[in-house]
């Protein structure tokens, strides 16, 4: 059954009942995208994340091998790769743990830029490694638009001064 605009985020998380989610969040997230068969989405996302991780990990190996290991020449390409890994890891606790949608949006934009910079730095070294990152960059563009819509549809609650 598709989700309609304005349906609560907690309703697509099977282990999260609205009551439990409400006590854990300062407010529930609303989603606007229509998602068919949401139970399969998390399995698909897990498989997609694993495939992406394998692709860009192999790409980093190709760059590392081509540059002769951790040499001075590898500092920028592998440093950018390490930075995008850290930014990739940080988004989930910011968005789902801290429920800071705005900071998560900023972090995601930084991640997308870092992935693009990583690809630019890898291109002269290994075109194959660069092409292995293309699906990840495409996913990040979609993730940015989703994060933006969630941010737009869920303004920060007013604080009493």
pLDDT tens digit sequence for 84-127: 999 999 988 898 888 888 999 999 999 999 999 999 999 999 99
Collapse the DSSP code of 14 into the 3-class scheme (helix H, G, I; strand E, B; otherwise coil) and give the result. coil
Q: Which of the pair, 24 or 48, is modelled with greater confidence?
A: 48
Dist. CA 153–CA 31, nearest whole Å: 8
Q: State the alpha helices, DSSP H only, in 67-100.
A: 75-92
User: Which run of H or E residues covers position 11?
Assistant: none
Q: Which of the pair, 15 or 156, is modelled with greater confidence?
A: 156
CATH superfamily of 42-153: TspO/MBR protein (1.20.1260.100)
Per-domain residue ranges for the chain? Answer: 1-32, 42-153
Query: In the numeric block, which tokens belong to residue 95?
Result: 């968005």
Contacts of 159 (CB under 8 A, 6+ apart): none
Q: What is the mean pLDDT of the chain?
A: 76
Dist. CA 109–CA 103, nearest whole Å: 10
- Greatest Cα pair distance, the chain, in angstroms, is 58
Of 137, 144, 157, give the one whose Cα is nearest residue 105.
Answer: 144
Contacts of 63 (CB under 8 A, 6+ apart): 74, 77, 78, 81, 122, 125, 126, 129
Exposure of 124 by Cβ count < 10 A (0-12 exposed, 13-18 middle, 19+ buried)?
A: exposed
pLDDT of 43 reads 54
Q: What is the model's pTM?
A: 0.69
């Amino acid at each position: 059954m598709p989700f309609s605009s304005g349906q609560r985020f907690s309703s697509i998380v099977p282990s999260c009942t609205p009551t439990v989610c409400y006590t854990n969040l300062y407010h529930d997230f609303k989603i606007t995208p229509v998602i068919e068969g949401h139970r399969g989405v998390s399995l698909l996302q897990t498989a997609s994340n694993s495939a992406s991780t394998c692709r860009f990990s192999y790409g980093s190996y190709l760059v590392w091998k081509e540059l002769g290991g951790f040499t001075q020449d590898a500092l920028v390409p592998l440093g950018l790769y390490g930075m995008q890994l850290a930014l990739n890891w940080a988004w989930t606790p910011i968005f789902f743990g801290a429920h800071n949608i705005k900071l998560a949006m900023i972090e995601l934009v930084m991640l997308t830029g870092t992935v693009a910079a990583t690809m630019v730095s890898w291109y002269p070294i290994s075109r194959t490694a660069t092409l292995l990152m293309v699906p990840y960059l495409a996913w990040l563009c979609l993730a940015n638009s989703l994060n933006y819509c969630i941010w737009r549809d869920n303004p920060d609650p007013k604080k009493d001064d």
